[in-house]
């Protein structure tokens, strides 16, 4: 796809995420006033990740246009740093976390929505905003993977980074429970301590699998793996 259409695409998706974040933060929900605020929800963290990622995509596009036909080595170095950061975020955060949020949310929602998204939330969050947080993330990240080639880090470094993020968030959830006595997600209230450990381990494995899926998909689309 040509550079200009990609620029427009990145800018449009970035504006979409900014709108979703602003509308979500404007909602006066009791959960936003408790310990951890919005940052205790993986959905919100993912929205921030996606917004930052597409913001970097826009900066990369602009930098690429500005350096076109320019022989400045310093600008070339800065552009390469931006591209490396963009590719790293796509590989380690935007794709695996985004796909994880969408698949886990709708899987649990279909089984029993009260475990992850109680019906009470319908009074605060409109349907379009719910889909903006839990549905459109997947097509956006797939479109990005199809339109832009991303250089993945070494598999060991990539998996280590994904594991660090997953374990960090699990510890954050446990800390919130330690402070407030309430689990972030109602699902965890129904699990025994032993089952919680198995669940957290399974979550970490799943998000690592999504990292590998992203790597394989990227290689398949761009034919970088012979």
- The predicted-structure confidence for 64-84, as pLDDT tens digits, reads as follows 887 776 767 777 888 899 999
With tokens 């475990």, the residue in question is 115
Comparing 4 with 223, the larger pLDDT belongs to 223
Question: What is the share, in percent, of the chain residues with pLDDT greater than 70?
Answer: 96
Q: C-alpha angle with apex 188: 186 to 194, nearest 5 degrees?
A: 165
> 226 falls in which pLDDT band (50, 70, 90)?
very low
pLDDT digits (tens, 9 = 90+) for 143-177: 999 999 999 999 999 999 999 999 999 999 999 99
Query: How do the domains of the chain map onto residue ranges?
Result: 6-224
**C-alpha separations of 164 from 50, 167, 170, 186 in Å:** 18, 5, 10, 24
Whole-angstrom distance, CA of residue 154 vs CA of residue 15:
32
Residues in the chain: 226
Token readout for 19 is: 């709108």
The whole-angstrom separation of Cα 36 and Cα 178 is: 12
Q: State the angle between helix axes of 3-26 and 127-134 in degrees (0 to 180), rounded to the nearest 10.
A: 130
* Reported pTM: 0.92
């Amino acid at each position: 796809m040509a550079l200009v259409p990609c620029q427009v695409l990145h800018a449009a998706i970035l504006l979409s995420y900014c709108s979703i974040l602003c509308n979500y933060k404007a909602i006066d929900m009791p959960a936003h006033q408790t310990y951890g605020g919005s940052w205790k929800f993986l959905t919100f963290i993912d929205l921030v990740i996606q917004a930052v990622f597409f913001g970097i995509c826009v900066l990369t596009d602009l930098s690429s246009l500005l350096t076109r036909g320019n022989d400045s080595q310093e600008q070339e170095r800065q552009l390469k740093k931006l591209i490396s950061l963009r590719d790293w975020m796509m590989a380690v955060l935007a794709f695996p976390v985004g796909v994880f949020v969408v698949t886990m949310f709708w899987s649990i929602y279909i089984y029993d929505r009260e475990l992850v998204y109680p019906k009470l939330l319908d009074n605060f969050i409109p349907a379009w905003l719910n889909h903006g947080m839990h549905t459109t993330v997947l097509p956006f990240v797939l479109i990005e993977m199809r339109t832009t080639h991303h250089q993945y880090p070494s598999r060991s470094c990539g998996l280590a980074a994904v594991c660090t993020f997953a374990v960090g968030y699990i510890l954050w959830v446990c800390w919130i429970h330690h402070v407030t006595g309430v689990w972030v997600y109602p699902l965890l209230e129904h699990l025994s301590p032993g089952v919680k450990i198995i669940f957290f381990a399974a979550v970490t494995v799943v998000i690592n699998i999504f990292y590998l899926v992203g790597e394989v998909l990227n290689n398949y689309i761009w034919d970088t793996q012979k």
